[in-house]
Chains A and B, each alone.
Chain A
Amino acid sequence: GENVEQHPSTLSVQEGDSAVIKCTYSDSASNYFPWYKQELGKRPQLIIDIRSNVGEKKDQRIAVTLNKTAKHFSLHITETQPEDSAVYFCAAPLGYSTLTFGKGTMLLVSP
Chain B
Amino acid sequence: NAGVTQTPKFQVLKTGQSMTLQCAQDMNHEYMSWYRQDPGMGLRLIHYSVGAGITDQGEVPNGYNVSRSTTEDFPLRLLSAAPSQTSVYFCASSRRDRDGYTFGSGTRLTVV
Contacts and interface: CB of A to CB of B under 8 A. Distances in A.
A35 to B, nearest CB: 9
Given A32-B98, A98-B33, A45 B42 contact: no
Interface in A39-97: 42-46, 49, 51, 89, 93-94, 96-97
Contacts of A89: 42-43
Interface in B55-96: 56, 58-59, 90
Interface string A1-44: 00000100100000000000000000000011010000000111
Nearest to B102: A46
Given A32-B99, A43-B103, A104-B42, 13 more contacts: A6-B42, A34-B101, A42-B105, A46-B100, A46-B101, A97-B56, A97-B97, A98-B31, A98-B48, A98-B58, A99-B33, A100-B45, A104-B43
A31 B98 contact: yes
Contacts of B24: none
Given A31-B98, A46-B100, A94 B43 contact: no
B23 interface: no
Contacts of A94: 45, 58
Contacts of B100: 34, 46, 49
B21 interface: no
A103 B74 CA distance: 25
B21 to A, nearest CB: 14
Contact of A43 (B45, B59, B106): B106
